[in-house]
Chain A
Amino acid sequence: MCPEVSLRDVAVGSTARVANVVGSDLTSMRLLEMGLTPGVNVKVVGAAFLGGPLELELRGYRLSIRRSEAARVTMAR
């Protein structure tokens, strides 16, 4: 079985589809509410320097989340 890919590993400039958001705490709930639900297409538009947050495009808007938060979002292969 191949290891799961998270949103953190998606290369800048490419698009992938969300498979699941791991965890049920505050952060995971917020990610879901912001529209990162299973099945949605997300484009990684950019990343801040020095390992800063990621810039995503989904549901017609741009969202910024930290890399540690992006690690909770698993992507469909």
Chain B
Amino acid sequence: MSYAAGIPVAERAITVVLLGNPNTGKSTLFSAMAGIPTRVGNYPGVTVEEKLGRMAYKGHSIQLIDLPGTYSLAPKSPDEQIAVNVLRGQMPGVPVPQCVVVVADATNLERNLYLTSQTLELGIPTVIALTLCDVADEKGIALDIQKLSQRLGCAVVRVVASRREGIDLLCEKILAATGVPQPRPAGLDASLTAETPTHSPAASEAIARYQWIENVLKGIVQRNPPAIRSLNDSIDAVLTHRVWGTLLFATTMLAMFSSIFWLATPLMDIISRGIDALAAGAEGLLPPGAIRSLVVNGVIAGVGGVVIFVPQIAMLFFFIAVLEGCGYLSRAAFLMDRLLVGVGLSGKSFIPLLSSFACAIPGIMAARTIENPRDRLLTILVAPLMSCSARLPVYLLLCGAFVPNVPVGIPWLRLPAVVLACMYAVGVVVAAAVAFVLKSTVFRGPPEPFVMELPGWRWPRWRVVLQRVWESVSSFLQNAGTLIVAVSIVVWALASYPNYPEAIDAEVKAQRQFLTDELASLDSTPADSMPAERRENAADIAEQLAFLDTKAGLAAAQRGAAQRQSFLGQGGRFIEPLVKPLGWDWRIGCAALASFPAREVVLGTLGVIYNLGEIDPGESEDASALVRRLRSATWDGTTRKVFTLPVALSLMVFFALCAQCASTLVVIGKETHSWVWPVVAFAYMTVLAWLGACATYQLGTWILS
């Protein structure tokens, strides 16, 4: 067949649909055939992923549609309904498929042929791609592919997608099948019409199909004991053991979690040092002014804020790919299901939620492993409530500075540690409550069966593992990265403009005057009649005045004034009535606004807004300076302290529950292919954070008074 030159590729493309059970290596086959998808989105009205790709073979252009993994074509869930609609050509905007490739797991052919039997009835030209053949070889499963092809009435191709074996033959068979009507499978009709009066229609159909499958497979599958059976068997015996299996699971999860929490840290340090060096270099090259500020504080800081997530994402997906590759991912879901089913989730949410304690971004991306769209969305929505590592510096600083370091009656345990643990617990408890409420209201529906295949132990394929890691990192950088940088630049602009030097100088001058007057009034009081607290105040004011006279101190005061006068500062003043019930002054409100790109920014912003200049809360000297300044901060025009224990607690609770992380929101948007869900997440988390912080402050004030 030849095509006239000049016809656009799209017009002569052959539409091929990939269909298969979950965990059959369908995605790996898609990548091997089409590479990076040309379009990833949602089917209209549902959160079922639409994935399209394109490939060329011998001058033919093939458009690939990857359908979500399904066990059956009897539509019971949104993804199965989508699969049926696409196959029947009833999906608006999706061309009628000319060929369907059923991806079937060679190690588990009997169950995989159930979906095949339903597909063959549709009459669409069908080709079967037998995947995981290398695993089948290892397990000693031998298949007579020729006989299978004859009995099914369609081509059967053996593929090892990770090594690209059989891809060319598969394409050849697709081209050969296209346009030839698919005969109805021999013997299936007879099985289906055979009477089984004792069972319900659903049971009768299932019995009939499995009856047909047993006939098809008779003499085709041979199970020889594999050479390394003893090793695999003993691994399996440990995995399923009540005690050892549980212990091994706990160890594996602990190793995975600590690796993303601790092992990623040195890499993240290197990245942030590199970004600092880049910023310093740019600072040296560019003249001072708006452009320098944009490049250093907007663009470079924004890019740094994206790249910093890469080590954690890479590590988590490395672990997930290894666990998936050796069949352990489903086992983790199996073991943890009981714990999560009570709040309306399933065991498959466990790893995404656990990872979110390190960082919600890889956690949300890991929710890709949940096939059920409803469970996946619910997991994505509650994952940011897990206290991530970005919240830890905020907790540590505030706990250390404002929570009294007193014993609580248990040896070794002191109050700050208890408060820290409570912050982690708050996130978990609220997440459980939110999941439960959402599941019984918005996401209500018939209970989803937890029916899941548990693949036996097998060795992971390293090529697949590395590909998974690369795909997750590159998709994060390409899809989310640009948007995160854009958000950082917008927030930089809001914190830098308007910028009037006269107004800034006037504010600094007024501040100096205020401090001088205050000191004078304190000095005029006789020293012995002054309470200790006021003496401390005087010393503090003298210190602030001395700092203001240094070059760095003046620059810091100017930066502080500039930020207070910026749109962001104005916003902080504007929302003051809203944050007052939380015990916050407008400066804290302002810092909370500025921390929208990332929570950990709040400490740096507090440093700037309290005239400390650019500080690094990770440096102990800077942190103690920030603590001293926070302790001495007073409400405007009064001597009433801003930071008390209830305020510190309310600030921590707010940060435990709020969605102040633009990157998380962007990733939620990218993963759900919708702008509704990040808005929902931001709205509900902010409301909860406000309510939680308000309750904490009001209760705390009431108890302490």
Interface residues of A (CB under 8 A from B): 20-21, 24-35, 37-40, 45-53, 55, 59-66, 69
Please name all residues of chain B whose beta carbon is closer than 8 Å to the beta carbon of A47 when the two chains form the complex: 242
B203 in contact with A66 (CB, 8 Å): no
Please name all residues of chain B whose beta carbon is closer than 8 Å to the beta carbon of A51 when the two chains form the complex: 338
Determine if B261 is an interface residue (Cβ-Cβ < 8 Å). Answer: no
| Tally of chain B residues near chain A (CB < 8 A) | 46
A32 in contact with B455 (CB, 8 Å): no
A27 in contact with B337 (CB, 8 Å): no
Interface residues of B (CB under 8 A from A): 71-72, 74, 76-77, 107-111, 114, 199-203, 205-207, 210, 221, 223, 240-242, 245-246, 330, 334-339, 341, 347, 446-447, 449-456
> What are 24 A-B residue pairs whose CB atoms fall within 8 Å in the complex?
A24-B200, A26-B76, A26-B449, A27-B446, A27-B451, A28-B202, A29-B206, A31-B449, A33-B71, A33-B206, A37-B203, A37-B206, A38-B203, A46-B240, A51-B338, A53-B337, A59-B111, A60-B108, A60-B223, A61-B453, A62-B453, A64-B452, A64-B453, A69-B449
A25 in contact with B330 (CB, 8 Å): no
Please name all residues of chain A whose beta carbon is closer than 8 Å to the beta carbon of B203 when the two chains form the complex: 20-21, 24, 32, 37-38
Nearest neighbor of B118 in chain A, beta-carbon distance = A33
Minimum CB–CB distance from B454 to chain A (whole Å) comes to 4
Please name all residues of chain B whose beta carbon is closer than 8 Å to the beta carbon of A53 when the two chains form the complex: 334, 337-338, 347, 450
Nearest neighbor of B246 in chain A, beta-carbon distance = A49
Main secondary structure of the interface of A (DSSP, over half): mixed
A69 in contact with B456 (CB, 8 Å): no
Taking a contact as CB atoms closer than 8 A, the residue among A21, A26, A61 that contacts B108 in the complex is: A61
Taking a contact as CB atoms closer than 8 A, the residue among A30, A48, A49 that contacts B449 in the complex is: A30
Contact (A60, B110) CB under 8 Å given A26-B76, A28-B202, A40-B210: yes
Taking a contact as CB atoms closer than 8 A, the residue among B76, B207, B336, B451 that contacts A34 in the complex is: B451
Minimum CB–CB distance from B441 to chain A (whole Å) comes to 20
Please name all residues of chain A whose beta carbon is closer than 8 Å to the beta carbon of B223 when the two chains form the complex: 60
Please name all residues of chain B whose beta carbon is closer than 8 Å to the beta carbon of A30 when the two chains form the complex: 71-72, 76, 449, 451
Please name all residues of chain B whose beta carbon is closer than 8 Å to the beta carbon of A27 when the two chains form the complex: 446-447, 449, 451
B451 in contact with A69 (CB, 8 Å): yes
Please name all residues of chain B whose beta carbon is closer than 8 Å to the beta carbon of A28 when the two chains form the complex: 202
Most chain B beta-carbon neighbours within 10 Å: one of A27, A52, A64? A64
Please name all residues of chain A whose beta carbon is closer than 8 Å to the beta carbon of B454 when the two chains form the complex: 55, 62-64
Please name all residues of chain A whose beta carbon is closer than 8 Å to the beta carbon of B451 when the two chains form the complex: 27, 30-31, 34, 63-65, 69
Please name all residues of chain A whose beta carbon is closer than 8 Å to the beta carbon of B449 when the two chains form the complex: 26-27, 30-31, 65-66, 69
Question: In the bound complex, how far is the Cα of B209 from the Cα of A32, in angstroms?
Answer: 10
Question: In the bound complex, how far is the Cα of B240 from the Cα of A48, in angstroms?
Answer: 9
Taking a contact as CB atoms closer than 8 A, the residue among A32, A37, A39, A49 that contacts B335 in the complex is: A49
Most chain B beta-carbon neighbours within 10 Å: one of A33, A60, A65? A33
Nearest neighbor of A61 in chain B, beta-carbon distance = B108
